[in-house]
Structure 1
Amino acid sequence: MALPLALSGQDIIGQARTGTGKTYAFGVAMLQRVGKPRKNRKKPRGLVVVPTRELAVQVTEDLVTAAGKLGSRILTVYGGRAYEPQIEALKQGVDVIVGTPGRLLDLVKQKHLDLGQIQALVLDEADRMLDLGFLPDIERIIKLIPAERQTMLFSATLPGEIVGLSRRYLNRPTHVRAENNDAEAEATPQTTQFVWRVHRMDKIEILGRLLQCEGRGLTMTFCETKRACDMVVEQLKERGFAAAAVHGDLGQGQREQALRAFRNGKIDVLVATDVAARGIDVDDVTHVVNYDCPQDEKSYVHRIGRTGRAGRTGVAVTFVEWEDLTRWKVINNALSLDFPEPVETYSTSPHIFSDLGIPEGTKGVLPRANRSRAGLAAEEVEDLGETGRVRSRSSRKGRDDGDERRERPARTPRERRRTRGGRVNETPAPVEAEGIQRPVVELAEVEADVASRKDIRDDQVAEAAPRRSRTRRAGLNPEVSLTAAETTASGETTASGEFAAEEPTRGSRRTRRERVAETPVEAPVEAPVEVRWDGGQAGRHEDDTVNDTVNERWDDEPAATAPVHRPEPEKIIPPSPFAVIFRSPDLATDDDEIAPSAASERVQNRRRVPGRGQQRGGRRPS
C-alpha cells in the first residue's frame, strides 16, 4: 500500500509492527528516485537515518539486495568504526547513505559529508530514536537538507513527539497503517505467549530447562542492564550452552562477531539489551525470553517481534518478578492481553514441562552429548579500527569458549644478601693509615672464630658488665665512649675490638645485651687488626682512646710477647636517666638584642605617627 505512494513522490508516515517489510517499502522507492550512479556525481541523493548500528547494517544489506541491477553505491556510516574508510568512500562518491545521527553529524562537521543534494529522506524507527534522545540531532540533520525533498517516516508506534515532528517537517503526509485498529493487533498473533511469575534466584534454572525444549532453534534473551547480560551469558556457558552477549559496552567488532555467530548457527542463544530489540532480523528465531520484565508495552512488542516474522510462528516467555507485577499489569492492560495475574512458577513446576514440551527429568545443565555448537570463539573478530574502548566485564576476563586462563609465570629465585645495618655486606679493601697497612679481617672469619671460642668465657667480665635493656649507641654522643655493654649481636665491635655472638635460641626473655658474651682474646697479635662491617668504613671514633692505647702497646712490644689483657674502660653512667649528658654551647653574648615578636612589631607600627611630607605607610607624595 505504501509503495505506490512512495513512488509518486508523496510524503508518508508508515506505521506497522516489526517484520512486515518496511525496509523495502521505502528502499525501492528511494533507489528508483535516485537512479543509476554517475561518475560526475559524488554527493549522496538519498539518506536513511536509523537509531542503532545493527539496524544500519541490516538496512544496508536489504538496500544492496534491492539495488543489485541498478548498481547504486550505498554506504553505511555509524560510530565505533574508524573514520578513514568512510571518508575515503565519500570522496569516491556515493548515492545512498545509511547511518546513525551521531556519526552523520560528525562527518558533516568535519566537512566530509555534504547533504545539500538529498532528494529522499527516510527516518526509520523514529520512535526508537526518540527514546534514545536523538530527536535534537534529527532536527539538525533535517535543517541541513533542502526543503524540496521527499520525507518518509516509518515507525511501529507513533508517540506525540513523533506526530509533532511529522507536522513540522513533512509536507501533507499520508498516514499508512498496516494493522487494524484493534489493540490486540499490537501483539504478534503468530507468537505463542507465556507469562510466569518467578523468583529472581530461580530464573536461570528455568531458563536452562526452557532452552532444552523440543523444536527449539535460535533463541534471543532480553535483559534490562548490561551487567545482567554478562551475568546470564557466564552462567549459561557454565551450564554448557553456546551463548553470547550484545550490548552497548561491547566494541563494535565484538557486537558484529556475536551477530555473525548467531546468524551462522555457531551460537544458539543471544543475550541482549533493548539495543538489539530493533533491527535484528535473523531467520529461524523460534523462542524469545524476556529475562527481565520490559519497561513498557512498546518494548514488549519489539522484543517478542524478533520471532514469528514473515508468517512464521514462535514462542515468547516473559519472567515477571514480584516487584514487577504493577509494571506488568500496565503492559497487560495497554495491549489487552490475557495475563493480568501471571502464574506462580518455579523450576520444578509441572506446567513448564507441559507448556513448552520439555522432556521430564530435564535439569538446567545441557548434557555433554548435546553440546554441538562451535561457540563464539569459532567466529573471528573483524578489525574495524574501533574508536571506542572495550569495557565489557566478560571480554576482560577472557571467558569465551576455547580461551584458557593465563598461567602465572614461575617466580625467579630471590638472591638473599647478608646486610649490616641495612647495607649490603661487601668485601672491603685495605686502608693505609699513618703509614701502616692494616690487614682487613672478613666478617665471616671473625664470626667463625668467635663461635669456636664462645664456650671460653670470663665470668668476672660478664658479671662486671651492667645489664641494661636499652643503651645509647657509641658515636651518637661524643661524651660517651664505646663500651662493652653497648655492642650488639648484629656485628658491632666491643671496646676490646672483639665481636659479640648472639645465642641462636629464640623465645628467651633475656635481652640481647644479656645474651652477649664478651671474652678477651688470649692470642699473640702480629699486627694491628681492624674489623670492618659498615660498607667498608672503619669502626673508629674520634674519642676512641682505648683503641689508641692498644695500638701504641702493639707498636712498642714485639710480636712474640705474651698475650695482653686489655683493661675494660670505665663506664659513664648518668645518675638519673633524665640527666643532661651533652649541652649545646650558648653562643649568645651580652650585646645581643632580643628579637621583637610579631605582635610587638604590629603595636609599634600602629603607634608611629607619620611626619610632615610623608603619607601613611612611609611613602612620600610624588
Structure 2
Amino acid sequence: MGRLKAVTTSPVDPTSAPTFVELGTDPKIAEALATDGIERAFPIQQMCIPLALEGKDLIGQAKTGTGKTLGFGIPLLQRIDLEGDRSVPQALVVCPTRELGLQVATDLERAGRLKGIKVLAIYGGRAYEPQIDALHKGIDVVVGTPGRLIDLVNRRDLMLTGIRTLVLDEADEMLDMGFLPDVERIVSEIPTQRQTMLFSATMPGQIVNLARRYMTQPIHLRASEPGDESAIVDTIEQHVWRAHPMDKIEILARILQADNRGLVMIFTRTKRKAQRICDDLTERGFAVGTVHGDLGQGAREQALRAFRNGKVDVLVATDVAARGIDVDGVTHVINYECPDDEKTYLHRIGRTGRAGASGVAVTLVDWEDIARWQMIDRALKLPFKDPIETYSSSDHI
C-alpha cells in the first residue's frame, strides 16, 4: 500500500525533551501522566505522537524500554470518540503475550483514567465469562493476545466493526511465536478505514510484507542512532564471566549483595533450573519469585505483581515465561547460563537500562559454552571474546 518513508532520530538529553502537552497531548491525559511523574517525552514518543495525532500509519522501531506504549497509546486514546457509539471497541492493541498485554492495558488505563476511557485486557488462561461480560457492558480499548481475540471474534462476543485504531505491538515476537496467521485473520475483521501502527524491535522480511499489505503509506520511525545495529542501550554496564556451575549460586549471592541494587532479573534456560535457583536463593534469605512454564497463570501473575510492587526484589525467569515483562527499576540482569543467541542476549539485558536509567548485565558462561558465547560476542561486536575466569571469592565481583 505504498512505500515506507523512514525517519530517524538520535537520543536527546531528557531534561531538554518536550513535555507531552507541547506535543499535543490532551490536557486530561497529560494531567494523568503527570500524577504518575511522567511529564517529558522520550525520543520514540516525540516522533510518534505528533504524526499519529495526524492519523498517519506508523512503523515504530526502537530499543527495548524506550517508552513505545505511550508513543502509540496517547494518540490511540485521543482518537476515542466519547460521544459516539461506545457499545463496541474503537481501538485494538494486539500483543504476543499475556504479560505484555496486561502491562499495556494498565498503562493505557492510567493515562486515560481522567477521560473515563474503558480499557480491557483479553488473554487466555483465564475464564471467558468476565471478559465477555465486560465487552457486553461496553469497552473503548481492547488489548489482547491473538488466540483469545480470535476465539471471542468467532463467538461473536467481540465485534471489531468499530475499530478506528489498530496497534500491532512487538510484531517480531508475534512472528517468532507463530502468530502471524492469527494476526492476519484479526486484521481482516477490521474496517479498512482505520489508523494502523506497528511496533517491532527488528524488521524481518515478513514484518515488512505485513506492513505493505495492511498499512497505507506508513512512516518508519527509528529512535536510535543511524547504523546502530546492536540495539544495546548505552547505559548498560556489561560483564561476562567464565564460571563453574557449582560456584554460580555463590556468585549470584555476591552480586545480590551489591550496594545500590534495585530489582534483579535472573534468566535461565530451563524451568527446573529456574525453580532450583529460586529455592536456593530463598534459603539464603533473599526475597525471590519465579516465572516459568510449570507454574499456572495465576501463580505467574502473582509473582509478577510481587516483583513490580517490591515484595520480592529478585525474579528468576525462563525466556518464554519472561516475554513481555516490562518492569521499571530493574538495575541488574543476570544470565545464569550463556544465552542461545545474540537476539536472546539483547532481549534479556534490555530489561535494565530502560528509558535513560543505568543498569548492569552479568553473563555467567560455562566452560563448554565458550564457543557459543564467542558467536554472540562476534555478532554484536562486543569486547568480551574471552570471558574473565571468575569465582565467588574473586575481587572483581
CA distance in 1 between partners of 2:245 and 2:224 (Å) = 36
Cα pair distance change 1:212/1:118, threshold 3 Å: same
Q: TM-score, normalised by structure 2?
A: 0.84
Deviations 1:512-532 (A, max 9, x none): xxxxxxxxxxxxxxxxxxxxx
Structure 2 residue 298 is matched with structure 1 residue 253: yes
Structure 2 residue 144 is matched with structure 1 residue 144: no
- Alpha-carbon contact 1:183-1:335 (below 8 Å) kept: no
Deviations 1:423-455 (A, max 9, x none): xxxxxxxxxxxxxxxxxxxxxxxxxxxxxxxxx
Give the stretch that moved more between structures: 149-158 or 277-286.
277-286
Alignment partner of 1:206 out of 243, 251, 254: 251
- Aligned counterpart, 1:235: 280
- Aligned counterpart, 2:65: 19
Letter in 2 for 1:2: C
More helix by share: 2
Percent of residue pairs bearing the same amino acid type: 63
Structure 2 residue 53 is matched with structure 1 residue 7: yes
- Aligned counterpart, 2:387: 342
Q: TM-score, normalised by structure 1?
A: 0.55
Letter in 2 for 1:67: G
2:356 counterpart SS class: coil
Structure 2 residue 238 is matched with structure 1 residue 193: yes
- Aligned counterpart, 1:360: none
1:189 counterpart SS class: coil
Structure 2 residue 164 is matched with structure 1 residue 119: yes
Shift of 1:29: 1.0
2:115 counterpart SS class: coil
Shift of 1:276: 5.2
Deviations 1:249-281 (A, max 9, x none): 322211111111112222111001223544333
- Aligned counterpart, 1:265: 310
CA distance in 2 between partners of 1:165 and 1:61 (Å) = 27
CA distance in 2 between partners of 1:126 and 1:161 (Å) = 10
Give the stretch that moved more between structures: 73-82 or 330-339.
330-339
Cα pair distance change 1:302/1:277, threshold 3 Å: farther
CA distance in 1 between partners of 2:282 and 2:327 (Å) = 22
Alignment partner of 1:312 out of 357, 360, 381: 357
Letter in 1 for 2:332: H
- Aligned counterpart, 1:326: 371
Structure 2 residue 155 is matched with structure 1 residue 101: no
CA distance in 2 between partners of 1:156 and 1:200 (Å) = 33
Letter in 1 for 2:52: A
Alignment partner of 1:80 out of 118, 125, 139: 125
- Alpha-carbon contact 1:37-1:72 (below 8 Å) kept: no
CA distance in 1 between partners of 2:82 and 2:379 (Å) = 46
Structure 2 residue 265 is matched with structure 1 residue 220: yes
- Aligned counterpart, 1:69: 114
More strand by share: 2
2:159 counterpart SS class: coil
Structure 2 residue 90 is matched with structure 1 residue 45: yes
1:332 counterpart SS class: helix
Deviations 1:433-482 (A, max 9, x none): xxxxxxxxxxxxxxxxxxxxxxxxxxxxxxxxxxxxxxxxxxxxxxxxxx
CA distance in 2 between partners of 1:276 and 1:24 (Å) = 24
CA distance in 1 between partners of 2:326 and 2:290 (Å) = 16
- Alpha-carbon contact 2:291-2:322 (below 8 Å) kept: no
Shift of 1:225: 1.8
Letter in 2 for 1:273: T
Larger radius of gyration: 1
Q: How many residues align?
A: 351
- Aligned counterpart, 2:20: none
Shift of 1:184: 6.4
Shift of 1:296: 2.2
Higher relative contact order (Cα pairs below 8 Å, separated by 6+ residues): 2
- Alpha-carbon contact 1:44-1:95 (below 8 Å) kept: yes
CA distance in 2 between partners of 1:312 and 1:285 (Å) = 9
1:270 counterpart SS class: strand
- Alpha-carbon contact 1:218-1:268 (below 8 Å) kept: yes
Letter in 2 for 1:304: I
CA distance in 1 between partners of 2:187 and 2:337 (Å) = 36
- Alpha-carbon contact 1:116-1:145 (below 8 Å) kept: yes
- Alpha-carbon contact 1:247-1:255 (below 8 Å) kept: yes
- Aligned counterpart, 1:292: 337
Letter in 2 for 1:164: N
Shift of 1:339: 0.8
Deviations 1:355-396 (A, max 9, x none): xxxxxxxxxxxxxxxxxxxxxxxxxxxxxxxxxxxxxxxxxx
- Alpha-carbon contact 1:277-1:306 (below 8 Å) kept: no
